[in-house]
Amino acid sequence: MPTLVTAGTAAALFSLGALLLGAAGQVSAQHEAQVAADLAAVAGASAVYRGEDGCTVAAAVAGDNGASLRDCRGAGADLTVTARIRGREVTSTAGPV
**Taking the chain (97 residues) in consecutive chunks of 10 residues, what is each chunk's mean pLDDT?**
79 78 76 95 94 95 95 92 94 88
Sorted by where each starts, the structural domains of the chain and their CATH numbers stand as: 1-94 (3.30.1300)
Coil/strand/helix, residue 86:
coil
pLDDT at 89: 94
Distance CA 61, CA 36 (A): 8
3-state helix, strand, coil in the chain (%, to 5): 60, 25, 15
Nearest to 88 by CA among 41, 46, 33, 45: 33
Query: What residues does 80 pair with on adjacent strands?
Result: 73, 93
Residue 73 backbone phi and psi in degrees, to 5 = -140, 135
pTM of the model: 0.76
